Structure 1
Amino acid sequence: MSLQRAKPTRRERAKEDKSRRIVAAARALFAAHGVSGVTTQQIADRADVAVGTLFRYAASKAELLIKVQNEKFAAAIKEGLAAADVAPRTVPATEVVLAVLTPVVDCVREQPENGRTYLHELVFGDPNEVNRRDGLILTEQLEGGISQALERFGRIEHGEATVLARVITAIVHISATATIHLDQSAADLLADIRTQIDTVIAPRGSRDPVPATQREALS
């Protein structure tokens, strides 16, 4: 006997439509003006809902930002992990880790204020709030991908690779949120992150310069 999914009610469809409009409005306004340049009233007006209605879907502007950024973060992680999956086994571990991280850094630097606020909220906000919880799950996926890259390409034991992945993720968070780095481009930030990662894993592998042909294999 096959089970058919119940057709959404009119009320459920209306609720989903409002949710989509609110998220779309927040996404557009955050991208154009940055999170600090947008008010919940502006988001509500653009979504054509009352502010009180907006707060039934998200308790704060920060939660809306996290929801919007989670979508971008998830896509960036997927892209980075795909790059690691097709990397030749001869590519050094640092390069593979950078291949995983490059889309992530590009994501959080696309709009630096939004990316910085997003990472800060994930670390210091309520981990039980649903959108933050989803973001933290994404961070765990990123750590898992880095750990696998270290095991596969750096021949690092699983337990140590897991710890190193957490260290590398912390490097990215600090580098992307520190005020001193706000004016850095994504490329400059990645170069700095590369140096830090290389230093962290150097005792376990070669620090010889990576041939251009091997870097091109990941591009």
Structure 2
Amino acid sequence: MPVEPQPLGRRERNKQAKLERITAAASQLFAEYGVDEVTTQQIADAADIGTGTLFLYAKTKGELLLLVQNLHYAAALERGRAAVADTETALDGMLALIAEVVDCNRVQVENGRTYLREMVFGDPSEPHHAEALSIVAQTQQAVAEILVERAQVAAPEAATLAGVVSAIMFMDLAASVNVGASNQEILAQIRTQLAAILPR
């Protein structure tokens, strides 16, 4: 007989409610003003908590950005996985997946670029950073699956190529030269590069 999950206690419910308020406040303020223009005090005030409490959930503003963007990235990855089903070729499948990530990352361009920097240079022992890296790994796994299924690439090679695909995507998203580019222009650049590395 399956064991039903126990309801959360009051303390855990309070912690979850605070986390949700922090995430909502940071998400709104970052989207409206950009991460560089928002202070932790503003986020704490908007979440109706003290700054000391805020730092229990995220030690730095960079970690707060990771907390917020991880949720958006995970949702974008799910949309991308679903979009792959409407494509036929490996290249189109990868681009359908990547397009959702690009759109998510560029809702607020500087926030997206800062998120990528935090992902690369942040503290890997910090839980929000570890979660970001986990989502990247899931993205690479999804790319590898497309390569195996649609381009008949062996699994080990597909995993290596998926890492290259990820590097191409993140480099194009982070590059200063692309700050003013449209999402479609960035996707066109990515398409050209992916077409060049796909097995013939």
Q: TM-score range by the shorter chain?
A: over 0.9
Q: How far apart are residue 155 of structure 1 and its match?
A: 1.8
Among candidates 184, 187, 196, match of residue 187 of structure 1: 184
What is the rounded CA distance, in whole Å, between the counterparts of 1:145 and 1:4 in structure 2? 32
Aligned residue number for residue 64 of structure 1: 64
Q: How far apart are residue 16 of structure 1 and its match?
A: 2.1
What is the rounded CA distance, in whole Å, between the counterparts of 2:178 and 2:141 in structure 1? 26
Q: Report if aligned partners of 1:97, 1:149 keep a CA contact under 8 Å in 2.
A: yes
Q: Deviations over 1:28-82 (max 9, x none)?
A: 0011011101000100111111111111111111111101101110111111112
What is the rounded CA distance, in whole Å, between the counterparts of 1:198 and 1:60 in structure 2? 39
Q: Percent identity?
A: 44
What is the rounded CA distance, in whole Å, between the counterparts of 1:146 and 1:9 in structure 2? 40
What is the rounded CA distance, in whole Å, between the counterparts of 1:112 and 1:92 in structure 2? 30
TM-score (ref. length: structure 1): 0.86
* Pairing 1:200–2:193 present: no
What is the rounded CA distance, in whole Å, between the counterparts of 1:7 and 1:93 in structure 2? 44
Q: Deviations over 1:100-153 (max 9, x none)?
A: 111011110111111111111111111121111111111111001111111212
Which range is displaced more, 169-178 or 77-86? 77-86
Aligned residue number for residue 98 of structure 1: 95
Aligned residue number for residue 50 of structure 2: 50
What is the rounded CA distance, in whole Å, between the counterparts of 1:2 and 1:155 in structure 2? 41
Q: Which amino acid letter does the alignment assign opposite residue 33 of structure 1?
A: Y
Q: How far apart are residue 154 of structure 1 and its match?
A: 1.5
What is the rounded CA distance, in whole Å, between the counterparts of 1:156 and 1:3 in structure 2? 42
* Pairing 1:17–2:14 present: no
Quote the RMSD (CA, aligned, Å). Answer: 1.5
Alignment of 1:157-172 (within 5 A): 157-172=154-169
Query: Does the residue aligned with 2:180 lie in a helix, a strand or coil?
Result: coil
Q: Which amino acid letter does the alignment assign opposite residue 177 of structure 1?
A: A
Q: Alignment length, in residue pairs?
A: 200
* Pairing 1:137–2:134 present: yes
What is the rounded CA distance, in whole Å, between the counterparts of 1:30 and 1:98 in structure 2? 27
